[in-house]
Amino acid sequence: MYLTSEVKKDLFQKYGKSESDTGSPESQIALFTHRINHLTEHLKQHKHDSATRLGLLKLVGKRRRLLNYLQRTEISRYRTIIAELNIRK
């Protein structure tokens, strides 16, 4: 599986406040970005996988809403996570 508990711990430790911080917007955005990158690579090989494409679009929407929330509330945290994850807006 591409998303093991070790990968999640690393993501939460790097982008969250601690490795048990799974609810902060930064950690959620990092997790969604990891999943989005994996699904994008999958869809490059399997172009007609419509179910995966739908899941990818839903994940992108969730990440976009979290980024909008972070931008409204704390712009400095928003700019930091955008730069770290190399997300374009």
Q: What is the pLDDT of residues 29-39, one digit of tens each?
A: 999 999 999 99
Q: How far apart are CA 3 and CA 9, in angstroms?
A: 10
- Note the pTM of the prediction, 2 decimals: 0.91
Looking at the domain assignment, is residue 5 inside a domain? no
- Number of domains the chain contains: 1
* Inside any domain, residue 71: yes
Residues 41-73 as b/e (b if ≥16 CB within 10 A, e otherwise) read eeeeeeeeeeeeeeebeebeeebeebbeebeee
Q: Would 73 be classed as within a structural domain?
A: yes
CATH of the domain at 76: 1.10.287.10
67 in any annotated domain:
yes
- On whether residue 1 sits in a domain, the answer given is no
Q: Is there a domain that residue 13 lies in?
A: no
pLDDT of residue 21: 85
Residue numbers of the domain that contains 57: 26-85
| Model confidence at 1: pLDDT above 70 | no
Alpha-carbon distance 64 to 7, whole Å? 22
pLDDT digits (tens, 9 = 90+) for 15-33: 988 878 889 999 999 999 9
